[in-house]
Amino acid sequence: MVNAIDKFLIKLDFDREELIRDKSRHYLYAGIGVLLLVNIIFIPLAIIEFL
């Protein structure tokens, strides 16, 4: 999963060396994980509510 996120961030013009040496990378991964979790939980609930 981390490698996939790294490849995606490189496509968005993030520098790989900067990602490797930057300690805030873990916060970036945590933020992406939280966003995915929220989407997995709340989007189906919103769809069910409108049905």
| pTM reported for the whole predicted model | 0.49
Specify the amino acid at residue 27.
Y
- Encoding tokens for residue 31? 């933020």
For 25-40, how does the pLDDT look when each residue is reduced to its tens digit (9 = 90+)? Answer: 777 788 888 899 999 9
What CA–CA distance (Å, rounded) separates 8 from 48? 31
Digit-coded pLDDT (tens) for 9-18: 776 666 666 6
| Number of domains, the chain | 1
Q: Which domain holds residue 19?
A: 2-50
Tracing tokens 């939280």 back to the chain, one arrives at 34
